[in-house]
Amino acid sequence: MSILGSFGEAFWSTRIWLPPNTTWEDIAPGSRLDVKHADYRDLVWPLPLALVVMIIRFALERYWIAPVGKSLGIRNLKPKKAPFNKVLQKAFETSSKLDHQKIIELSKHTDLTKRQVERWWRLRKAQDKPSTLTKFCETTWRCIYYTYSFIFGVIVLWDKPWFWDLKNCWYGYPHQSITDDIWWYYMISMSFYWALSVTQFFDVKRKDFWQMFIHHMVTLLLMSLSWVCNLHRVGSLVLVVHDCADIFLEAAKLTKYAKYQKVCDTIFGIFTVVWIISRLGFYPRIIYSSSVEAPKILPMFPAYYIFNSLLIMLLILHLFWTYMIIKIVLDSLQKGLYTETQVKHYKLY
């Protein structure tokens, strides 16, 4: 047996991933007439579906979202390009940061004044920034997807017992049937995250780029492992909890790009409330069920610790983003209070 084969056999050991006295044959498709188990081979479907998602996105952005953005007055202005300078370009590619010492050195090597170096640097940094219309298109696409995904998820889960009582995620495990609607919910969600993991490298670069990339990878890993281990019930709950707040975040962004600031502020306020309720309320409740309630219903096995570690990793990311969100809210409130104080000051005189 090859080293790779031995590793694979050890990695997928039933002692790790399944409850005691359960084998992969026990949860294989067709092993029981009364249960439709998940098929690990279905995990290949999200890859071609991800390509379909990217094509749909391209078509929507080009033929519908962009025209709508232009009709709202959003312009696709391209910044002025910096004139080519081999020395400055090489320095910029090494590091885009510019300090006083670097300006002096570059000025000596290029026969340009310090002000000319600074101006070139500003132009060079600006030319890499995407237009507002590009950001509007990307944001609108994500808002459309999250809206669809959340609504579809709620419709799919509405008649499922584990949607109303989390303990039903564990009753009868691992012999829990996959329904067609859950199958589609999983496959489409995974295809979106695969597509997002690829397009993230070409989309507008965000400050939390690597946090988002880790988030996508952890989400895909959780979904794949939960599918293989037939833990789709708790997986579907994690999905629907994650989608609801993102709708309002993306909606707030696109209204800002369209310069509807008051609407943006209102939606962002709603987003903050929904985020805290869903990510710091409902989501920890799922973790509580998987870490405290599950052991009372099922015999524990090593995968229990793996899944809970991944769930907690996502929670840590949520806490990081919550800090950033609250910081934005507080900054906005302080600016608002400052503006109000200014108005009162002017009225006195």
Q: Is the pLDDT of residue 72 over 60?
A: yes
Give the C-alpha separation, 320 to 314, whole Å: 10
Evaluate whether residue 78 is within a structural domain: no
Evaluate whether residue 253 is within a structural domain: yes
Evaluate whether residue 136 is within a structural domain: no
One domain for residues 260 and 190: yes
pLDDT at 344 (0 to 100): 39
Task: For residue 97, give the CATH number of its domain.
Answer: 1.10.10
Per-residue pLDDT of 159-189, as tens digits, reads: 999 999 999 999 999 999 999 999 999 999 9
Give the C-alpha separation, 314 to 311, whole Å: 5
pLDDT at 222 (0 to 100): 84
One domain for residues 27 and 113: no
pLDDT at 341 (0 to 100): 44
Evaluate whether residue 312 is within a structural domain: yes
One domain for residues 289 and 173: yes
Evaluate whether residue 6 is within a structural domain: no
Evaluate whether residue 282 is within a structural domain: yes
Q: Is the pTM of this model over 0.85?
A: no
Q: Is the pLDDT of residue 128 over 50?
A: yes
Q: Is the pLDDT of residue 349 over 90?
A: no
One domain for residues 269 and 228: yes
Q: Is the pLDDT of residue 348 over 70?
A: no
Evaluate whether residue 142 is within a structural domain: no
Lowest-confidence segment of 30-44, 194-208, 226-240 by average pLDDT? 194-208
Evaluate whether residue 187 is within a structural domain: yes
One domain for residues 65 and 90: no
One domain for residues 255 and 297: yes
45 pLDDT band, cuts 50/70/90, is very high
One domain for residues 335 and 197: yes
Q: Is the pLDDT of residue 5 over 70?
A: no
Domain extent at residue 105:
86-127
pLDDT at 147 (0 to 100): 96
Query: What value does the mean pLDDT take over residues 207-213?
Result: 74
The Cα angle at residue 102 between residues 101 and 103, in degrees rounded to 5: 90
Token readout for 2 is 């090859």
pLDDT at 203 (0 to 100): 76
One domain for residues 186 and 43: yes
Q: How many domains does the chain have?
A: 2
pLDDT at 4 (0 to 100): 59
One domain for residues 208 and 322: yes
